[in-house]
Amino acid sequence: MNLKIYERTIIRFEIIGFFYLIGVLTFFVLINKLKNISPWNNFNNFIFCISVIGSFLSFLLLGFNYFFSSNKINTENYRIQEKKEVMLPKYNRSKKSPLAVIDINNSFTKEIKFGRDQIENWKKANFVELDLSNGLFNFQIIRNKKLK
């Protein structure tokens, strides 16, 4: 769920990484408590803190931003900086899905995935048209995407 909301949100990856960093810091703050209450070794506790705390905090940010977003939609066009193909999951490795890398306000890039049915349009396209709405925390939500 976290990944799906991240794909639909225009947000810097560093912000999400910050929440996982909080998980690392939490491990070091609670290391002695974790030794007493957990049957796991330090490495397992470390991975547990990163994954659980990082995922939970990033889901809170992304989830609240997404589910409490504005209904007002703005349409913006972005030039495609790079085109890539992404392999599909297990048992479909031979098939590839199109992906367009766009530049957001000259500050960072965002990868926009499209369905396999869009491959011909993707090959011809130079722009991506996004229907955006503002989220609760002012991170934009991608409501619809179209190749141009």
pTM score:
0.86
User: Does residue 135 share a domain with residue 78?
Assistant: yes
One-letter amino acid for residue 74 of the chain:
N
CATH number at 122 reads 2.40.50
Per-residue pLDDT tens digits of the chain, which is 148 residues long: 899 999 999 999 999 999 999 999 999 999 989 888 988 899 999 999 999 999 999 999 999 999 999 999 999 999 999 999 988 777 776 778 899 999 998 889 999 999 889 989 999 999 999 999 999 999 999 999 999 9
* Domain of residue 31, residue span: 2-67
d(CA 25, CA 22): 5
User: Does residue 47 share a domain with residue 89?
Assistant: no
- Count of domains in the chain? 2
User: Does residue 31 share a domain with residue 12?
Assistant: yes
Task: Report residue 116: phi and psi, to 5°.
Answer: -60, -25
Which of 88, 135, 132, 136 has its CA nearest to residue 110? Answer: 132
For 19, other C-beta atoms within 10 Å of its C-beta total 19
